[in-house]
Amino acid sequence: MKDENILLFDGVCNLCNGTVQFIIKRDTTAKFKFAALQSEAGQALLTKHNLPLNHFDSFVFIVNGNYYQRSSAALQVAKVLGWPWKLFFSFIIIPKFIRDFFYNLIATSRYKVFGRQEHCMIPTPELRQRFL
């Protein structure tokens, strides 16, 4: 499995699933691959990058062997997604501790605000090849 443009997300989080759907609709060249953090593939990638296996309050974006978490992951995704979304990458100039403060506010309340599912999402047959 090549570590290129892989987005690991909380598979039971409605906000996270909505974000994946948002990216899929705008990723017309299929640059992104996806895996739930809880999945076998997600757990293998977390292990490979020495990341916690049961800490699902941030999504992880893996690109070219490097991984990003929290606000840095979101900004890297926007950069790869292309125009006009890559304009959001300009927020990288804001210090990480400030960006992550706001990211964490959303992350800690995401289940209360957006809800959660009992099981990880199952991709449609057309999207299956984009999921690890």
130: which residues sit within 8 A by CB, 6+ positions away? 24, 30, 32, 33, 34, 123
Distance from C-alpha of 99 to C-alpha of 79, rounded to nearest angstrom? 16
- At residue 114 the predicted structure's pLDDT band, cuts being 50, 70 and 90, is confident
C-alpha radius of gyration, the chain, whole number: 14
- At residue 40 the predicted structure's pLDDT band, cuts being 50, 70 and 90, is very high
Which pLDDT does position 3 carry in this prediction? Answer: 61
For the record, the structure tokens of 70 come out as 């929290």
pTM as predicted: 0.86
- At residue 101 the predicted structure's pLDDT band, cuts being 50, 70 and 90, is very high
In the predicted structure, residue 56 carries a pLDDT above the cut 80: no
In the predicted structure, residue 1 carries a pLDDT above the cut 60: no
In the predicted structure, residue 53 carries a pLDDT above the cut 90: no
Q: 34 forms bridges with which residues in the sheet?
A: 7, 131
